[in-house]
């Protein structure tokens, strides 16, 4: 059976955060803004991942990126927290697990 050229080739929808995940990320963001650590954020829905980036100032590179990559869910875990140079600080299967890297006492900003 031949494909109909009038229909566009099927594309996969971009990956994005579910409502529960986004609420948890925004709660963390609010806590860190109140502590004076973060000042801005960006959300990107890409073809293979969803990225929540946080900034000290809007004009800078992101301090941290929290990524959701569903393709890695069965291997290393779909969630990862990366620092500014791109090093993975924490990777796991659950969002709550990887966000523990930001818990008070376990994390400090070094200038």
Condensed to tens digits (0 to 9), the pLDDT of residues 53-99 reads 999 876 778 999 999 999 888 888 899 999 999 899 999 999 999 99
Query: CA 93, CA 1: separation in Å to the nearest integer?
Result: 40
**pTM for the structure as a whole:** 0.79
List pLDDT tens digits, range 21-40.
999 999 999 999 998 889 99
Task: Decide: 78 and 7 in contact? Cβ < 8 Å.
Answer: no
**3-state SS, residue 22:** helix
Q: Is residue 9 part of a domain?
A: no
Task: Decide: 90 and 98 in contact? Cβ < 8 Å.
Answer: yes
Q: Is residue 69 part of a domain?
A: yes
Q: Is residue 2 part of a domain?
A: no
Q: Is residue 3 part of a domain?
A: no
**3-state SS, residue 50:** strand
CA atoms within 13 A on the CB side of 54: 21
Domain count, the chain: 1
* Domain hosting residue 91, numbered range: 19-102
Q: Is residue 108 part of a domain?
A: no
Paired tokens of 80:
């990862």
Q: Is residue 12 part of a domain?
A: no
For the chain, counts of helices (H) and of strands (E): 2, 5
């Amino acid at each position: 059976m031949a494909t109909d050229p009038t229909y566009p080739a099927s594309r996969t929808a971009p990956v994005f955060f579910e409502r529960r995940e986004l609420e948890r990320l925004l709660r963390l963001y609010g806590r860190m803004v109140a502590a004076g650590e973060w000042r801005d954020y960006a959300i990107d829905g890409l073809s293979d991942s969803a990225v929540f980036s946080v900034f000290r100032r809007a004009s800078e590179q992101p301090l941290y990126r929290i990524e959701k990559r569903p393709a890695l869910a069965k291997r290393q875990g779909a969630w990862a927290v990366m620092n500014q140079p791109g090093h993975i600080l924490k990777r796991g299967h659950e969002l709550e697990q990887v966000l523990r890297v930001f818990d008070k006492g376990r994390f400090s900003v070094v200038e």
